[in-house]
Amino acid sequence: MTPSGVASPHVRNNVAPRAGPCLACMLILLAAPLFSPAPASGQSLRGSPASLDIQNRIAREHDYTYIETAERVRRFVDQGWLVRVRPNRDFGLHAVSFPYARPEVVLFIERLAGQYREACGEQLVVTSLTRPTTRQPRNASSRSVHPTGMAIDLRYSRDKRCRGWLEGVLLGLERAGVLDATLERYPLHYHVALFPRHYATYVDNLATRTRMAESTTSGSSQPSTRTAQLAERAAYTIQNGDSLWEIARQHGVSVNELQAVNGIDGSRIYAGQVIDVPLGG
């Protein structure tokens, strides 16, 4: 459970390759979900009161605080509960006042942006991330989950092909039960509320299936080699801004493997903590 700050009164304390859209969507939707947090809301990107119900329920299940002020955002960043979103060749930030999000949201942006740029040749543009409740725009819903750090807004592309690819992927991930997406009209943009734990499990399932496929093609000796690799470990000291997902990716292991080796339940880690990292490279 993520550590909490002071919550607002109404919430609990927290703590395709260029071959085209079809191949890209197949790669993203490779893993079947092992969970079903809620029925998808219409599968149309239209949004509804039911969508907000789902988003707020997931926020409560994660015990996420609805952050009220800019000062509280900075405290969450200092504690590592929110991490900085750093633009790269695949995505940019536009008019984002608080470039921070939950670690799983950062992972989602980086993965989606790489696939988006490969599929249609342009950068993905993020227009909003964490917003304190006192800094919400006037037209924002009072039930918005932006203050929890689990939501992002994406620019509406002028390229119809890019819009078609993105909308198809968002609908597919909504069916997989890892997010809720809406095409907002005023102004025109995509609002995505990510379900962090569900998405992390989804990505781990993809990684596991990829390793299984690789072991099948490389011969029967691969599983025992993998076991031997996981038996070897190195100490790693957590730094500010680190997340289990980033550490796992850097060392070629899964989040589940990191959690199992270190007895970690959930995603909570803190700066200065020393963990064992399996040598999976």
> Domains along the chain?
21-198 (3.30.1380), 219-278 (3.10.350.10)
The answer to whether the bond into 187 is cis (omega within 30° of 0) is yes
Closest CA to 243 of 21, 83, 120, 124: 83
At residue 222, the pLDDT reads: 52
Q: pLDDT tier at 36 (50, 70, 90 boundaries)?
A: very low
Mean pLDDT of 131-150: 93
Average pLDDT for the chain = 80
Q: What is the pLDDT of residue 29?
A: 43
Residue type, 184: E
Distance CA 147, CA 259 (A): 27
Strand extents, DSSP E, 89-246:
91-93, 100-101, 124-128, 151-155, 179-185, 188-194, 233-237
The predicted structure's pLDDT at residue 161: 94
User: What number is the average pLDDT over the span 8-23?
Assistant: 38
Our CA angle for 84, 85, 87, nearest 5°, is: 135
Report the pLDDT value the prediction gives residue 252, as an integer from 0 to 100.
80
DSSP, res 7: P
For the segment 92-103, what is each residue's pLDDT rounded down to a tens digit? 999 999 999 999
Q: State how far the Cα of 115 lies from the Cα of 25, in Å rounded to an integer.
A: 9
Identify the weakest region by mean pLDDT among 112-126, 172-186, 264-278: 264-278
Of the two residues 214 and 128, the one the predictor is more confident about is 128
45-82 per-position pLDDT tens digit: 988 889 999 999 999 999 999 999 999 999 999 988 99
Q: What is the DSSP letter of 88?
A: B
Instruction: Name the residue with tokens 């405290």.
Output: 75
Distance CA 235, CA 275 (A): 6
| 215: confidence class by pLDDT, cuts 50, 70, 90 | low
Angle between helices 103-120 and 244-251 (to 10 degrees): 50
